[in-house]
Amino acid sequence: MQSALREDALTSVDGGIAVRVGLPWIRSLPLACLREPAITVDGVAAPTVLVGDRRLTPEQLVDEGGWWFAQDRVVLTAPVGLPAGEHDVVVTFRLLIPYLMAGPGGGPLELPMRVAGRLLLDAPAVPSVSRDVA
């Protein structure tokens, strides 16, 4: 499985930065399975989730009807400016696995996820079939 943070994951956007995160699981999942996403870039954290061109808070994801396909990436944004160069990126979230009833009380399993890397801001795009979750 490819890394959830590819070398082109960190980009500049209007009003801050975006971090594109691949699904670290073997199957596509409903977008509502992404719980409490948070990013930290050089110690600064303030995430919003983008679904297409709508901005959502992490809490609003539980009501989303779309899918996070295995090859695609969720976009997290933060309203921070970064200088050119490399930056330490950490993304944490919980991933609900709705078909594995192994969680507390016999409910769905929730796995804590943490992906990290040192990424170059606005690195050249990696050739891929990945799309942003929309």
Which residue matches tokens 């950490």?
90
Residue 8 · residue 125 · CB < 8 Å: yes
Is the pLDDT at 111 greater than 80? The verdict is yes
Do the strands 73-78 and 67-68 form a parallel or antiparallel pair, or are they unpaired?
unpaired
Is the pLDDT at 2 greater than 70? The verdict is no
Q: What angle do CA 103, 65, 129 make, to 5 degrees?
A: 95
Digit-coded pLDDT (tens) for 37-88: 888 988 877 677 777 677 888 888 888 888 999 999 999 888 888 999 999 9
Digit-coded pLDDT (tens) for 5-36: 999 999 999 888 899 999 999 999 999 999 99
Sorting pLDDT into bands at 50, 70 and 90, what band is 1? Answer: very low
pLDDT of residue 58: 83
pTM: 0.89
- b/e sequence 3-38, b meaning 16+ C-beta within 10 Å: ebbbebbbbeeeebbbbbbbbbbeeebebbbbbebe
